[in-house]
Amino acid sequence: MDINIDKHLYNKGVLMKQELAQLFKALSDANRLTILERLVKGETCACTLMDGIEITQPTMSYHLKMLSDLNLTTTKKDGTWKKHYVDFDKIDDMISYLEALKAMKGSCNL
């Protein structure tokens, strides 16, 4: 079975490769993975996220901005606090891509 991954992703309404590449690139940093893992457990503020991660506040802000710019996370104001949480739609897009890629296994006709 020959699978065209671009067509498969388009039909599923998944992001295109350039956007996916940026999402995967964002997850190529161990600190951002840790931040994302913590946010999956529930929304929280940056000060709570910093507990146990040995990075400075400006570095945390940089990582949160990168995740937010790619819409992997979003924020909402809660009084004077800024709460961060995961956008699971982006995670689902990444999973759909990986599933489509896996479905291509053995379908190469070179």
pLDDT higher for 79 or 17?
79
Domains of the chain: 5-103 (1.10.10.10)
Predicted TM-score (pTM) of the model is: 0.77
pLDDT tens per residue across span 23-71: 999 999 999 999 999 999 988 888 889 888 899 999 999 999 999 999 9
pLDDT higher for 42 or 109?
42
Residue 18, both tokens: 């350039």
What local confidence, expressed as pLDDT, does residue 55 receive?
93
Strands (E), 13-93: 44-45, 73-78, 81-86
Q: How far apart are CA 3 and CA 85, in angstroms?
A: 34
